[in-house]
Amino acid sequence: MSTQTTASVSTHVLDTSAGRPAGGVTVSLEARSGPGVPWTALGGSATDADGRCKDLPALPEGTTHVRLDFDTETYFSSNQHHATRQAEAQQDAPRVRDSGAFFPEVAITFAVVPGEHFHVPLLLNPFGYSVYRGS
């Protein structure tokens, strides 16, 4: 049985349109201590070249819900994102946004319990995303 009084969170982002980690994605972290309680901004980080955030802030004791907010619009609007332009060229529909990102941000909200680690990977492309609880 764990004696830890807080949960911990980590994430990483994989760009499935490029088939590699998504470096430079800004991630914000918020927490709250129950349903209906206001969110508290804890800070954030950005993914490294391996697509990982290794320095997200610790969760305060009593955290029951966490929200990770990924700034996907800035990532996809970068001039270096060749895979975005390639994906757009393959679409039948016209571009939805100037940035090429249909989802300008991805906010993932999930419940946590004390003493457990929650790894939440984001699989991302310009027109969709998927998340799951990893290990």
Q: Which domain holds residue 15?
A: 8-131
Q: Please count the structural domains in the chain.
A: 1
Residue 26 in domain: yes
Find the CATH number of the domain harbouring 51.
Answer: 2.60.40.180
Q: What does the pLDDT read at residue 118?
A: 96
pLDDT in single tens digits along all 135 residues of the chain: 445 678 999 999 999 988 999 999 999 999 999 999 999 999 999 999 999 998 999 999 999 999 999 999 999 888 555 555 555 555 554 555 455 678 899 999 999 999 999 999 999 998 899 999 998
Q: Where are the alpha helices (DSSP H) in the chain?
A: 72-77, 82-89
Q: Is residue 3 part of a domain?
A: no
Pairing of strands 26-32, 128-131: unpaired
